[in-house]
């Protein structure tokens, strides 16, 4: 296109010159290592080098002292707090506080607004229970750093997890881990975060986290910082050797970005392969109907199949009613090509005065709908409609509106 | 999936692809076998054909004919046949010549002309891309329609139109209630029809409703985007390996991959059409050929057919093309437009107009933290935005030079659009919850990747000491026309 784009311009010089690709790769690897070391030096809360092993207690070892719940698989499901709104899980321990500056509760589905605390007792002040508030992000409890806490002293005799919430939701706890959090342990935690499997969820279409939901050191940031450092190092070396720093920076930037990109891409493709394996086990070899019966809304799909059997083959007007907007939308999608109406955003009943004879009302997991079979009257929001119940299953029903 | 399903899916893809590729190949600008021309014909050809099939379906519905394999397939086959005949006539091609050309193309794909480590790199990159596309294809074929908006406002239309065999209107609540069954309803009744029509056509070809297989167009569109990226870089005189590396960067954007695996949104198609429209416009700026202009106009118009914000994206291309073609006048026009936009934006501090379905209100409280997370901390873009910023800093001179002005204007306009909308309007809420911001950014991301690669190469070549031409260099020379 212009003189710069002429085939081969500069390529020979670049190929013969310094730095070579292998040099860039080594410098970039060194920069990554240096950045990691810097991070660990600044962030490893415990002794940099420690022999203390990580200690863990599983859900089965936890006692539910307050509230109600049970162990389900490898998780403790706290289904309700006690009358004061508190649920408490505890476990007896016996480790030196100085060796374990970090405690991590594996607890998820914490309701918004819940007050979550870590409690502990020590042999130093046996009669006293100390506590510290825990930070919750995206419904997960973050690890807490206790080094420097004046009450984290002596031998820790017991840990407890206290959550104060209104109830109505299930809090899942897999256990608790006391971490020595030396350099190796902290590095292991970061690597585990980067390599954590990120399966499809409702938010996948909007955002890719790149590993665990919460990461202390995002991998793209580390690699970008390392790329910058590699460029600086290469420029310095070039300057000392009397070579072109511009060329060194150009080569270093291109090489480092490509290498960093390759690392991130490898992580992503491996994650994709793991997801494809899950998808294959769920759906491969199944036809349309069986895929949907095995999907998360399989029960709804099954009921709609039954509904289609009693509804006319030509499209009819159908009003969908459900508390959860997920079910309203899914029901509508499965009911098409019937002429479906649903409120995509609110738990709303059909607009008053808009139901006519021949219309259908599809109800799925929606409280407050009453039907009097003897009088053939459907009551919604204080308004009665003449209706025939054509189909019913637990939590769901299908009505045909009759002439007045 | 039965063998008949496989055949039906292949036919659903092959017909629009053949028609679109035939048209692109028949344009005089495509003749001559320039580097990357085969990839351009295949990539741009698919994107053209995919819009063409929806135009045929709109015409079919307008004529009152029901959707069917014949009513849609025959016009496409006719277009493909006529285009192929035209190409054969123009190039005096014989069957034997075409066979030899195909064999050459295959050999080139397998690395002919490259030796040693270069050939290994070429094949390794191709294999790596192949693994990714295979994994994405498995998701498309097996995963039932998954993401929220797909089944609440896009495929809703597809299911109705497929079942009724024609296009019927979708309306908002009031009109729907008043119509007493004359129209349909979903969460976004006035969204463009292009993407649902893709799903309808695939189901028509299959002969049944299947909300997994109907999304195969997304996979094919991602492949076409990769081909367009490769062709673009070859057009900018990249060698084969350099172009393939750039293609890998474009094809490996994680959020773009998600939009293939969890197909059903219009954002990946929007990104593909914005990219191909921009590249077509840049080709016109460079060569000023009428057929380039026609192709550019077609793709710019297609942006608006794919998604409503495509209208704004299309305007950025028009502005950039003006700057590229007539720098002085273009800059003046773009400057006036930017000033007018700024005044309108300021006006939204007093009023809250609804533009393209989005209510805009000026509130300067940008969520820079969340925006930074999205661009630099999360896994959406690999190192794309670091690379773009690094390129903008290092290669600022090259980015503003004459041949790059239009491309740089385009990226700057796109970035300004995203930053202004998500930075200083109420749209920042979508930044904080990491929803629309990433999907809107996806529209620009592939083109931004191409810009960074092209501009940085100019910087790198200039930075190389003692730049000398090396005639016939295997990497730089357009010798092997892959």
Q: Quick check: A8 and B470 CB within 8 A?
A: yes
Q: Is B70 on the interface with A (CB under 8 A)?
A: no
DSSP summary character for residue B373: I
As a whole number, mean pLDDT of residues A387-402 equals 94
Report CB contact under 8 Å: A356, B180: yes
Q: Are B135 and A272 in contact (CB < 8 Å)?
A: yes
Q: Do A254 and B180 touch (CB under 8 A)?
A: no
Band of the pLDDT at A127, cuts 50, 70, 90?
confident
Confidence (pLDDT) at B210: 96
DSSP assignment string, B247-308: HHHHHT-HHHHHHHHT---SHHHHHHHHHHHHHHHHHHHHH--HHHHHHHHHHHHHHHHH-T
- Is A112's Cβ below 8 Å from some Cβ in B? no
A165-174, B10-19, B89-98: range with lowest mean pLDDT: B89-98
- Residue B223, pLDDT > 80, answer yes
Higher pLDDT, residue B26 or B32? B26
Q: Residue B381: its chain A contacts at CB < 8 A?
A: 220
Q: Work out the average pLDDT over B251-255.
A: 98
Q: What is the pLDDT of residue B431?
A: 66
Between A382 and B278, name the one with better pLDDT.
Answer: B278
As a whole number of Å, the end-to-end CA separation of chain B is 33
Averaged confidence pLDDT in chain A = 91
| Predicted local distance difference test score (pLDDT) of residue B181 | 86
The reported pLDDT for the residue numbered A320 is: 96
- The SS3 assignment for A54 reads coil
pLDDT of residue A3: 40
Above 60 in pLDDT, residue A8?
no
Residues of B in contact with A297 (CB under 8 A): none
Whole-number percent of chain B with pLDDT over 90: 69
Given this model, what pLDDT does residue B76 score? 97
Look up tokens 């799925």; give the residue: A364
Q: Which of residues 292-311 of A touch B (CB under 8 A)?
A: 292, 295
pLDDT at A18: 80
CB < 8 Å to A1, chain B? 236-237, 286, 403
Length in residues, chain B: 482
Pairing of strands A339-341, A317-322: parallel
Q: Does A206 touch chain B (CB under 8 A)?
A: yes
A19 lies within 8 A of chain B by CB: no
**A22–chain B Cβ distance below 8 A for any pair:** no
pLDDT at B482: 44
Average pLDDT of span B223-230: 98
CB contacts < 8 A (A, B): 261
**Mean pLDDT, residues B284-311:** 94
Measured between CA atoms, how close is A198 to chain B, in angstroms?
A: 11
CA distance A235 to chain B (A): 12
* B164, B257, B470 member nearest A272 (Cβ): B257
> Is pLDDT above 70 for B107?
yes
> In this predicted structure, what is the pLDDT of residue B217?
97
Whether residue A60 has pLDDT greater than 90? yes
Q: Judged by CB atoms within 8 Å, which residues 71-100 of B form the interface with A?
A: none
Interface test with chain B among A193, A208, A217, by most B beta carbons within 10 Å: A208
Q: Which residue has the higher pLDDT, A389 or B100?
A: A389
> Do the bridges between strand A360-364 and strand A370-372 make them parallel or antiparallel, or are there none, so unpaired?
unpaired
Angstroms from A142 CA to nearest CA on chain B: 18
Alpha-carbon distance of A398 to A363, in angstroms, equals 6
Task: Please tell me the total number of residues recorded for chain A in this structure.
Answer: 404
Query: What's the rounded Cα separation, in Å, for the pair B125 and B127?
Result: 5
B135 inside 8 A of chain A by CB: yes
Q: Which two tokens stand for residue A185?
A: 């342990």
Annotate B404-459 with DSSP letters as a single string. GHHHHHHHHHHHHHHHHHHHHBTTHHHHHTTSHHHHHHHHHHHHHHHHHHHHHHHH
**Across the interface, do A204 and B259 touch by the CB < 8 Å criterion?**
no
In the predicted structure, residue B467 carries a pLDDT above the cut 60: no
Give the A window 45-64 contacts with B, CB below 8 Å. Answer: none
Mark yes or no for CB contact A223/B383 under 8 Å.
yes
Task: Provide the pLDDT for residue A147.
Answer: 86
Two tokens, residue A20: 């070579």
Is the pLDDT reported for residue A45 higher than 80?
no
Say whether A205 and B258 touch across the interface (CB within 8 A). Answer: yes
> Please, what is the Cα angle at B154 between B151 and B157, to 5 degrees?
100
With an 8 Å Cβ cutoff, is A336 touching chain B?
yes
CB atoms within 10 A of CB B72: 25
Q: Counting beta carbons within 10 angstroms of the beta carbon of residue A314, is it exposed (0 to 12), middle (13 to 18) or buried (19 or more)?
A: exposed
Average pLDDT, integer, range B220-245: 96
Task: Tell whether the model's pLDDT for residue A15 goes beyond 50.
Answer: no
pLDDT for the residue numbered B430: 67
User: Which pLDDT does position A139 carry in this prediction?
Assistant: 84
Question: What is the percent of chain A with per-residue pLDDT over 90, rounded to a whole number?
Answer: 75
Cβ-based neighbour number of residue B19 at 10 Å: 28
Reply yes or no: is the peptide bond before residue A117 cis, omega within 30 of 0. no
Rounded to an integer, the average pLDDT of B81-109 is 81
Q: Residues A91-124: pLDDT tens digits?
A: 999 999 989 999 999 998 899 889 999 999 999 8
Mean pLDDT of B268-278: 98
Evaluate whether A264 touches A185 at the Cβ level (below 8 Å): no
- Comparing A5-9, B34-38, B219-223, which segment has the lowest mean pLDDT? A5-9
Are B156 and A336 in contact by the 8 Å Cβ rule? The answer is yes
Average pLDDT, stretch B78-91? 90
Q: What is the mean pLDDT of chain B?
A: 90
Task: State the pLDDT at residue B106.
Answer: 84
Q: A101: left (phi > 0), else alpha (psi -120 to 50), else beta?
A: alpha
Mean pLDDT of A136-159: 90
Which tokens in the block code for residue B444? 């620009």
Who wins on pLDDT, B374 or B150? B150
Cα distance from A50 to chain B (closest Cα, Å)? 30
CB contact under 8 A, A264 and B471: no
Q: How far apart are CA B425 and CA B201, in angstroms?
A: 39
Residue B259: CB partners within 8 Å, gap ≥ 6?
A205, B218, B265, B267, B268, B442
- Nearest Cα residue in chain B from A244: B465
Q: How far out from the chain centre does Cα B322 lie?
A: 21
CB within 8 Å of A377: residues ≥ 6 apart? A371, A384, A385, A386, A387
**Record: contact A210-B262, CB cut-off 8 A:** no
Closest listed residue to residue B209, CA positions, set B276, B160, B272: B160
Model pLDDT, residue B330: 87
Tell me if B9 sits within 8 A of B216, measured CB to CB.
yes
Contact B14, B81 (CB under 8 A): no
Percent of chain B scoring above 70 in pLDDT: 92
Contact B456, A254 (CB under 8 A): yes
* Residue of higher predicted confidence among B152 and B94: B152
A202, A276, A354: residue with CB nearest B135 = A276
* Confidence tier at A4 by pLDDT (50, 70, 90): very low
Q: Is B256 left (phi over 0), alpha (psi -120 to 50) or beta?
A: alpha
Least confident of B64-73, B197-206, B360-369: B360-369
- Residue contact B473–A220, C-beta within 8 A: no
Helix B405-424 and helix B310-325, axial crossing angle in degrees, nearest 10: 150
Query: Which residue of A lies nearest to B264 if distances are taken between CA atoms?
Result: A205
Which residues of chain A have a CB within 8 Å of the CB of B456? 250, 253-254
> Mean per-residue pLDDT for B453-470?
79
Mean pLDDT of A214-237: 95
- Give the HSE-up count for residue A212: Cα atoms under 13 Å, Cβ half-sphere: 17
Tell me which of A108-117, B41-50, B147-156, B449-458 is least confident: A108-117
Q: Decide if A254 touches B, using CB distance below 8 A.
A: yes
């Amino acid at each position: 296109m212009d003189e710069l784009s002429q085939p081969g311009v500069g390529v020979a010089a670049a190929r013969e010159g310094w730095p070579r690709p292998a040099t860039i790769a080594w410098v970039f690897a060194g920069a990554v290592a240096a950045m990691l070391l810097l991070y660990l030096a600044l962030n490893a809360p415990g002794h940099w080098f420690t022999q203390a092993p990580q200690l863990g207690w599983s859900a089965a070892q936890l006692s539910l002292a307050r509230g109600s719940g049970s162990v389900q698989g490898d998780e403790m499901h706290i289904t309700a707090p006690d009358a004061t709104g508190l649920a408490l899980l505890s476990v007896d321990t016996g480790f030196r506080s100085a060796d374990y500056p970090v405690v991590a509760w594996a607890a998820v589905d914490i309701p918004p607004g819940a007050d979550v605390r870590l409690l502990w007792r020590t042999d130093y002040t046996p009669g006293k229970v100390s506590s510290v508030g825990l930070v919750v992000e995206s419904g997960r409890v973050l690890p807490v750093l206790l080094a420097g806490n004046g009450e984290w002293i002596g031998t820790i005799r017991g840990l407890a997890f206290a959550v104060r919430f209104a109830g109505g939701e299930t809090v899942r706890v897999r256990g608790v881990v006391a971490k020595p959090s030396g350099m190796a342990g902290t590095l292991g935690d970061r690597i585990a975060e980067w390599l954590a499997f990120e399966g499809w969820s409702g938010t996948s279409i909007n955002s890719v986290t790149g590993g665990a939901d919460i990461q202390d050191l995002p991998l793209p940031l580390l690699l970008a910082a390392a790329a910058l450092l590699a460029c600086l190092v290469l420029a310095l070396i070039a300057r000392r050797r009397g070579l072109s720093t511009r060329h060194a920076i150009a080569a270093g930037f291109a090489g480092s970005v490509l290498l960093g990109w390759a690392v991130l891409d490898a992580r992503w493709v491996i994650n994709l392969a793991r997801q494809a394996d899950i998808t294959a086990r769920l759906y491969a070899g199944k036809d349309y109907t069986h895929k949907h019966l095995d999907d998360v809304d399989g029960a709804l799909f099954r009921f709609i199949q039954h509904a289609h059997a009693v509804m006319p083959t030509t499209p009819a007007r159908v009003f969908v009613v459900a508390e959860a907007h997920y079910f309203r939308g899914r029901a509508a999608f499965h009911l098409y090509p019937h002429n479906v109406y649903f409120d995509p955003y609110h738990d709303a009943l059909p607009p008053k005065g808009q139901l006519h004879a021949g219309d259908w009302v599809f109800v799925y997991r929606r409280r407050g709908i009453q039907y009097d079979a003897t009088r053939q009257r459907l009551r919604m929001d204080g308004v009665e409609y003449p209706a025939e119940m054509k189909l019913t299953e637990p939590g769901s029903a299908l009505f045909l509106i009759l002439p007045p | 999936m039965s063998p008949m399903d496989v055949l039906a899916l292949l036919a659903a893809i092959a017909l629009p692809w053949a028609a679109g590729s035939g048209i692109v190949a028949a344009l005089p600008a495509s003749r001559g076998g320039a580097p990357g021309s085969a990839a351009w014909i295949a990539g741009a050809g698919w994107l053209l054909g995919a819009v063409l099939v929806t135009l045929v379906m709109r015409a079919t519905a307008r004529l009152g004919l029901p959707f069917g394999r014949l009513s849609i397939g025959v016009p496409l086959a006719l277009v493909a046949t006529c285009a192929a005949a035209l190409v054969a006539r123009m190039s005096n091609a014989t069957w034997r010549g075409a066979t030899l050309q195909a064999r050459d193309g295959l050999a080139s794909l397998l690395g002919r002309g490259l030796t040693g480590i270069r050939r290994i790199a070429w094949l390794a990159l191709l294999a790596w891309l192949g693994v990714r596309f295979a994994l994405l294809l498995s998701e498309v074929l097996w995963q039932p329609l998954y993401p929220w908006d797909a089944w609440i406002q896009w495929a809703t239309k597809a299911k109705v139109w497929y079942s009724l065999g024609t296009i019927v209107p979708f309306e908002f609540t009031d009109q729907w209630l008043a119509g007493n069954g004359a129209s349909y309803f979903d969460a976004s009744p006035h969204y463009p029809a292009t993407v649902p029509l893709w799903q309808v056509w695939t189901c028509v070809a299959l002969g049944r409703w299947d909300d997994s297989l109907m999304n195969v167009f997304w996979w094919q569109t991602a492949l076409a985007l990769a081909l367009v990226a490769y062709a673009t870089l070859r057009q900018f005189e990249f060698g084969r390996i350099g172009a393939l590396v750039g293609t890998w960067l474009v094809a490996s954007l994680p959020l773009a991959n998600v939009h293939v695996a969890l197909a059903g949104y219009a954002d990946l198609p929007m990104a593909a059409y914005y990219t191909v429209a921009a590249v077509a416009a840049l080709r016109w700026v460079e060569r000023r050929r009428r057929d380039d202009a026609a192709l550019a106009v077609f793709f710019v118009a297609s942006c608006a057919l794919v998604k409503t914000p495509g209208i704004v994206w299309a305007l950025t291309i028009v502005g950039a093309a003006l700057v590229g073609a007539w720098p002085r006048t273009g800059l003046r026009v773009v400057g006036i437009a930017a000033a007018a936009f700024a005044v309108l934006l300021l006006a939204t501090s007093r009023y809250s107009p609804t533009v393209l379905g989005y209510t805009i209100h000026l509130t300067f409280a940008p969520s820079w933290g969340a925006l930074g997370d999205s661009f630099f901390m999360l896994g959406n873009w690999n190192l794309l935005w670091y690379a773009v910023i690094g390129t903008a800093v290092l290669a600022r001179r090259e980015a503003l030079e004459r041949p790059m002005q239009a491309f740089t204007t385009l990226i700057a306009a796109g970035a300004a659009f995203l930053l202004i909308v998500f930075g200083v309007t109420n749209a920042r809420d979508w930044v904080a919850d990491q929803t629309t911001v990433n999907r809107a950014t996806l529209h620009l991301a592939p083109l931004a990747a191409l810009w960074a690669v092209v501009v940085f190469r100019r910087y790198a070549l200039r930075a190389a000491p003692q730049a000398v031409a090396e005639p016939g260099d295997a990497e730089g020379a357009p010798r092997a026309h892959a």
